[in-house]
């Protein structure tokens, strides 16, 4: 078979001299051309080390007889922009990363690709771009950072900050936490969005078996990067190995989000990625897959251990072994083998023995004695048996809203609360920190959806609530915005339709009665101004409020957030750019 890159050389006579000017040698021009895309940059720890892995990929490509060309679209850091208007650009950046990869990958044809990313928008943006370019490709997840002293991890910093603002700790203790929470490169060391999406890449069959969420400083990750380069060259010569051949509805059902108590932000990223492949995944899909699912991973924020222990316990393959009877083992993967074949190979090639070695070193470092079963529970000893996420619906969220019930106090699984609406996070956070919010309140933050302000995270408000011993078990936070993958507590996000579109969340008034019922999957307005009413009476009041409601002036009038606010789909659809409405 003639490689596409060689066909391109015949069509574009300028291609060879331009590549020679860039650094290709003459003999490189006829080799399989491998598109190496990464989010490398000095933007944050999750991307700062990726060029080391890029060079290892290039070595693997060269060893297999190909030539690797480096392309970059760096990503921003939600953590660095948290609490500022910078966070409003976060979700939109996913779309821009995918757009640039689509441009780079299609402007000059390559024969196969390798994609390297670690974090919240970089990984889903790369996966979406990979789908659009649609050449045989391997994903290299960038790994996780090490835990700090006392097993400190970054998601605990919001708790330290809230305690400092309430006067519970001094500035010295806060500074200690700041200086020790990120001791190395890699994604933040908990099962937040970054870690979840690395795991999703492997579970979908797009990354090499066992490669997701390894410690970013591990020599094993360098070896995986080289192997990915070699595999990309092999894929260049193989038929029916494009991402569109590999990723199917069965692949998404294998993505085991429930077993790891994955980030709620996956309900934005997985539907958006599926959309790129022409597959529809909705909140109802997630809810179906989570009902009755065994939740096995005892890693923060919902569990006890930092994320580096995930690899030490056997990573994605170990989870898959536990839930094997629920998986589609015949799906194809980037190895050229099925998922079932990959799992069998790992039992024979020393993978689990290497993991055990690293776990022993972790125990020595922290003077602990944890076993693999302490990190990834056996199926019959699950932490929970109802997954980790529920999609609630009702007259407050006709299209749905999302709660991570494994991180929610049981006291809030069924409650009737008084509405306290705020039209921005800043107002709400001030009220929470200064005790203007009382037990029994349903705190609303609205006009923070994709079209409202870019759908930022309500991280500091959720941390202020969950770290408050009284409020954390007696109030709820409801928003059309989203939460960090590290968020815990009684928080409900993605409320759809969003306020800027006139969704019911925009019509809530002070004192309305809000019903939350997680087990029944309900989120309803059941009373007006403190008086309980029938559904018909509530709907009549909402009808009158809707007639009086006036849309807010557009927050962004130019630039990328203007584009995003005009084209973003609803939160429950994935907030991708929706051109045909």
Under 8 Å between Cβ of 439 and 470 = yes
Torsion sign across C-alpha atoms 122, 127, 131, 133: positive
Pairing of strands 522-528, 414-422: unpaired
Half-sphere CA count of 363, side-chain side, radius 13 A? 15
R_g of the chain, CA atoms, integer Å: 24
Closest CA to 138 of 212, 217, 213: 212
Distance CA 71, CA 129 (A): 13
Half-sphere CA count of 206, side-chain side, radius 13 A? 36
**Active-site residue, selected from the candidate residues 118, 261, 388, 484:** 484
Distance CA 287, CA 390 (A): 6
Closest CA to 472 of 159, 260, 178: 159
- Cα–Cα distances (Å) from 228 to 34, 106, 352, 401, 526, in that order, read 11, 21, 20, 38, 55
**Residue 55 burial (10 A CB sphere; 0-12, 13-18, 19+):** middle
* Catalytic-residue membership of 462: no
CA torsion 146→148→150→156, rounded to 10°?
A: -100
DSSP state for residue 377 in the 8-state scheme:
-
Distance CA 295, CA 397 (A): 26
- Cα–Cα distances (Å) from 220 to 213, 227, 232, 369, in that order, read 11, 11, 18, 23
Closest CA to 384 of 407, 411, 415, 402: 407
Q: 17: which residues sit within 8 A by CB, 6+ positions away?
A: none
Distance, C-alpha 227 to centroid of its chain: 25
CA torsion 474→477→483→484, rounded to 10°?
A: -30
Pairing of strands 137-141, 112-117: parallel
**Number of other residues whose CB lies within 10 A of the CB of residue 228:** 27
Distance CA 469, CA 165 (A): 15
Distance CA 69, CA 440 (A): 58
Under 8 Å between Cβ of 124 and 197 = yes
Kindly give the residue spans of alpha helices, DSSP state H, lying in 241-386.
243-246, 249-253, 257-260, 266-276, 283-290, 308-312, 315-322, 339-348, 351-366, 372-375
Residues belonging to the active site: 484
């Amino acid at each position: 078979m003639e490689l596409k890159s060689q066909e391109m050389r015949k069509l574009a006579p300028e291609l060879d001299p331009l590549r020679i000017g860039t650094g290709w040698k003459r003999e490189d021009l006829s080799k399989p051309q491998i598109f190496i895309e990464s989010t490398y940059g000095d933007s944050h720890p999750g991307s700062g080390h990726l060029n080391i892995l890029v060079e290892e990929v290039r070595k693997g490509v060269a060893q297999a007889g190909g030539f690797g060309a480096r392309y970059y679209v760096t990503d921003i850091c939600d953590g660095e922009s948290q609490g500022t208007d910078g966070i409003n650009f976060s979700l939109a950046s996913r779309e821009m990363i995918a757009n640039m990869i689509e441009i780079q990958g299609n402007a000059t044809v390559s024969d196969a690709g390798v994609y390297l990313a670690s974090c919240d928008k970089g990984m889903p943006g790369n996966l979406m771009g990979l789908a659009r370019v649609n050449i045989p490709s391997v994903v290299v997840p960038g790994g996780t950072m090490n835990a700090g002293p006392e097993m400190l991890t970054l998601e605990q910093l919001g708790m330290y900050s809230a305690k400092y603002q309430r006067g519970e700790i001094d500035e010295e203790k806060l500074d200690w936490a700041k200086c020790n929470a990120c001791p190395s490169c890699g994604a933040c060391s908990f099962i937040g969005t970054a870690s979840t999406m690395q795991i999703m890449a492997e579970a979908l069959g797009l990354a090499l078996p066992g490669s997701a969420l390894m410690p970013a400083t591990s020599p094993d990750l360098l070896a995986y990067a080289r192997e990915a380069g070699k595999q990309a060259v092999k894929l260049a010569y193989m038929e029916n190995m494009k991402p569109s051949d590999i990723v199917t509805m069965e692949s998404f059902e294998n993505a085991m989000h429930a077993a790891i108590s994955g980030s709620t932000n996956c309900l934005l990223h997985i539907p958006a990625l599926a959309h790129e492949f022409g597959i529809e995944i909705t909140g109802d899909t997630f809810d179906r897959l989570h009902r009755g699912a065994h939740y096995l991973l005892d890693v923060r924020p919902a569990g006890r251990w930092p994320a580096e222990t995930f690899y030490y316990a056997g990573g994605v393959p170990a989870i898959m072994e536990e839930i094997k009877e629920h998986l589609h083992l015949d799906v194809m993967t980037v190895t050229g083998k099925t998922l079932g074949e990959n799992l069998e190979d790992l039992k024979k090639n020393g993978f689990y023995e290497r993991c055990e070695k690293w776990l022993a070193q972790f125990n020595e470092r922290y003077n602990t004695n944890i076993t693999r079963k302490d990190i990834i529970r056996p199926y019959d000893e699950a932490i929970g048996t109802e997954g980790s996420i529920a999609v609630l619906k009702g007259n407050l969220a006709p299209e749905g809203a999302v709660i991570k019930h494994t991180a929610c106090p049981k006291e809030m699984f069924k409650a009737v609360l008084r509405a306290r609406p705020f039209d921005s996070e800043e107002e709400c956070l001030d009220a929470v920190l200064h005790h203007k919010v009382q037990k029994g309140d349903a705190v609303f933050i609205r006009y923070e959806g994709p079209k409202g302000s870019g759908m930022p995270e309500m991280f500091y408000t959720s941390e202020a609530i969950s770290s408050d011993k009284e409020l954390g078990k007696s109030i709820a936070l409801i928003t059309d915005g989203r939460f960090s993958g590290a968020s815990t507590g009684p928080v409900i996000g993605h409320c759809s339709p969003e306020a800027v579109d006139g969704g019911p969340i925009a019509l809530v008034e002070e004192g309305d009665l809000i019903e939350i019922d997680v087990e029944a999957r309900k989120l309803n307005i059941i009373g007006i101004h403190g008086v309980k009413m029938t559904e018909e009476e509530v709907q009549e009041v909402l009808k009158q409020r809707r007639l009086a409601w006036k849309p807010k002036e557009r927050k962004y009038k130019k630039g990328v957030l203007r584009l995003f606010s005009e084209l973003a789909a609803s939160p429950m659809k994935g907030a991708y750019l929706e051109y045909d409405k």
